[in-house]
Every structure is written in structure tokens, then in C-alpha cells.
Chains A and B, each alone.
Chain A
């Protein structure tokens, strides 16, 4: 997994998987497979489908989702409304086949900080040490 600092208001995780995009797509869109690594759910990968991810307390309970984009084996995007009161964010999964027959997966979770809030966060929160881990997200909390 590598860092991505292209976007200021998003968390980005990228990795290379050995399995082909078709198989990764199944793990993202079949409820039983998705439940095994993310959360119990009733996903149907069709645009407009509303489903729920049954999150535990540390993630703020149930996450309400709506499929925004579903291009089989390539792109899955859904809204992610979590916690009481529900803050709207969006999760995107991009799948690219690699020459070796695997998949390059890019997960982007954005919308945490609206432009305005980001401004105030930027102003007040001290910068974190950079390059602490390879998982460091692309979000910058200070200018």
C-alpha cells in the first residue's frame, strides 16, 4: 500500500492484489464476501440501490449507503452516511487489471471535511509528522 497526497480532503489507500478484477469485484459486491472483510450488509451493486453496513460502535453503528456508480470489474462508488445525525461521505473503489493478471485497487474515502470545515481545521490543527507510516492518508490537516 502506498501513500497518496493528491487530494487534501480524502483518505486514499492503494494496493496490488494477486487476484484479477473479476474476483475482486465479487469480494466488493457479494454480501457474504463483503461481510467477511468489511461489515454485514445487504449490498446490490446497482445504481440507486440503498443498503446498510452493520457497523459496530467504534465506527458509529449502522452505515447507510446508496450505490452511486457500479461499473462491473472497474468502479464501485457509494455514499457512506454514518453515525447519529449522519455525516455524508463517499467511498470509491477503483479496480485496474495489472499485466501480471492481478488487480490494482484504489480505495478513496472522501467528503470528511467540507471545503469550509477543512479551512478551519487547516487553520487550527498542528501538522502531523509526515511519512510516519506507509498507510498515511492523503488528508492534510494543516497547510
Chain B
């Protein structure tokens, strides 16, 4: 499920930090690297993972690439949580019926 992939992509602390920085503004890989104690290839790998699940979008300008958060990327996660929001009240209504039908 997409939701699981999103959770998994954000489970890594460095990746999450990258995501949070990109949520503030668009950055290039070298700008991103400035704040972290990790190599540029490592940053690129994290970006690829975030792009893979649709959390980050890339914009190319000549030979430069810029990255920013794609807010739509979190939609599957929110929908998944919403499913459970309606799930429990509906099941509790069924539970009430079951209780009424039980032997005392």
C-alpha cells in the first residue's frame, strides 16, 4: 500500500529532516547538503526515495535540479487515516446490535 511506503520513506531520520527542510522552501542538492553531515550521493539517494513515493518533486533548470515537497504526496496517508475514522463508529453500531441479540 502507498501509505505504508510513505511511512517507510519517512521513517529514516535524515530523510525526514530533508523532507522537512524542503517543506519550507525549494532547494538544490548542494543547498540541502549544507545542513547535513552526509555525502551528496547519500542526499541524492534520499531524494530519490522521497520522489519515489511522491513526497518530493523535482524541477530542472538547465543543468541544475531543484527539489520541493509535493503536498499531494501525503494525501494517501490522510485518506487511510480517514478510513479508520469512519470504520470504528460504524463497527460500534454493529456491536450494539450484537449485544442486543445476545443471551443475557
- Secondary structure at the A interface, as helix, strand, loop or mixed, is mixed
Kindly list chain B residues whose C-beta atoms are within 8 Å of the C-beta of A26.
102
Residue of B1, B71, B104 near A84 (CB, 8 A) is B1
Partner of B69, one of A112, A124, A135, A141: A124
Minimum Cβ distance to chain A for residue B13 (Å)? 8
Instruction: Please count how many residues in chain A sit with their CB below 8 Å of the partner chain's CB atoms.
Output: 42
CA distance A8 to B95 in the complex (A): 26
Measured between beta carbons, the chain B residues less than 8 angstroms from A15 are 92, 96
Residues of chain A within 8 A of B85, CB atoms compared: 11, 135-137, 139
Structural contact, B19 and A19, CB atoms closer than 8 A = no
Interface SS majority for chain B: helix
In this assembly, does B27 line the interface, its C-beta being within 8 Å of a C-beta of chain A?
no
How distant is the Cα of A95 from the Cα of B73 in the complex, in angstroms? 38
Q: For residue B12, give the distance in angstroms from its CB to the closest CB of chain A.
A: 10
User: A52 in the interface, Cβ–Cβ < 8 Å?
Assistant: no
User: Which A residues from 14 to 29 make CB contacts under 8 A with B?
Assistant: 15, 17-19, 23-24, 26-27
- A121 interface hit (Cβ, 8 Å): yes
User: For the complex, what is the distance from the CA of A59 to the CA of B1, rounded to whole Å?
Assistant: 11
- Which of A1, A18, A38 makes the CB contact (< 8 A) with B89? A1
Residues of B within 8 A of A (CB): 1, 3-8, 10-11, 13, 16, 19-20, 23, 69, 71, 74, 77-78, 80-81, 83-89, 91-92, 94-99, 102, 104
